[in-house]
Structure 1
Amino acid sequence: MPYKQPISILLVIHTSDLQVLLLERSDFAGAWQSVTGSSEANEVLIDTARRELFEETGLVVSNDDIVDWQQSTDFEIFERWRHRYAPGVTHNTEHVFSVQVPIDSIITIAPREHTQYCWTNIDDAIDKVFSPSNAEALRQLPEKV
């Protein structure tokens, strides 16, 4: 399996009344997050966001539905996942996007990646996510939509 690129997306999924979709990781019990994923080959980041949304939730949207926040965060890759990257790679650049979907959207999680999902309000979502960059994006959501 090829190494992951240290360039990824964070996609905040929300409804019109700012309910947020969170997913629990299958490889880290109790670790909740928004959709995330690494860019593949020469993939444009918005295409990464759309692909990861489909792979992790089954939701299909167009690139026009996704909002590019033109914002990124550099962070140290958690030790537990460094083996997925080339030797010596310790940091990742995460680009933030969001997408609004109806609350009654049918969510089909990828069981190899996630064990369950939930819809929750922003404040509870901020408390629930394990990633500081995910929490920061959730704090910014009301001003971004």
Structure 2
Amino acid sequence: MEVWQFIAGGGEDEDETIIISAKREAYEEANIGMDCNYSVLDTQNSIPTYCFKEARKIWGENCLVIPEYTFAVRMDTTILELSQEHTEYEWVDYNTALKRLRYDSNKTALWELDSKIKLGTLN
């Protein structure tokens, strides 16, 4: 199954803030520096826990949905070092990315990021 999406994950460690969790995941999955400039986007979603293999083990039986937060990161390089969770990456323009993304929440986050860049309001 070929699915293009942004780096996702986190939330396993209850003592982490959402930004620390995002930085950790980006570092673990693509070697994106923890010191890069991250911006929290407003786009949020809820994902049903049945989408995750270890959901009950991680969050317990009564947890039915988990929050999805989105971030932008400014990097000094376009070179990533992918973990085994990923097979490839490609830097593409907005319209190509929009066509490739499967999940509506990812498309919304991409639109928000593009809009903030155009408006000059991205932190």
Which residue of the partner structure matches residue 121 of structure 2?
none
Over the matched positions of the two proteins, sequence identity in percent amounts to 23
Q: Which of 32, 36, 58 does residue 4 from structure 2 map onto? A: 32
Name the larger-Rg structure.
2
Contact 1:59 1:106 in 2 (8 A): no
| Residue 114 in structure 1 maps to residue 86 in structure 2 | yes
**Is 2:110 the partner of 1:131?**
no
Higher helix share: 2
2:71 corresponds, among 88, 97, 102, to: 97
State the partner residue of 1:54.
27
How far, CA to CA, are the matches of 2:88 and 2:66 in structure 1?
A: 26
Per the TM alignment, residue 80 of structure 1 is displaced from its structure 2 partner at its CA by: 4.7
Q: For 1:75 and 1:106, locate their aligned partners in 2 and report how far apart those are by CA, in whole Å.
A: 30
Structure 1 vs Structure 2 CA RMSD: 1.9
Of 66, 80, 101, the residue aligned with 2:38 is: 66
- Letter in structure 1 aligned against 2:33: V
CA drift at 1:70: 4.0
TM-score with structure 1 setting the length: 0.68
Unaligned stretches of 5+ residues in structure 1? 1-28
Structure having greater relative contact order (Cα 8 Å, sep ≥ 6): 1
Runs of 4+ in 1 over 4 A off after TM superposition: none
Residue-by-residue CA offset, 1:23-75 (whole Å, 9 max, x unaligned) = xxxxxx31111111122221011111111111111120426x10012442123
Q: Are the equivalent residues in 2 in contact too, given 1:56–1:109 (CA < 8 A)?
A: yes
Structure 1 or 2: more strand by fraction: 1
Matched letter for residue 81 of structure 2: T
Counterpart among 49, 54, 60 of residue 84 in structure 1: 54
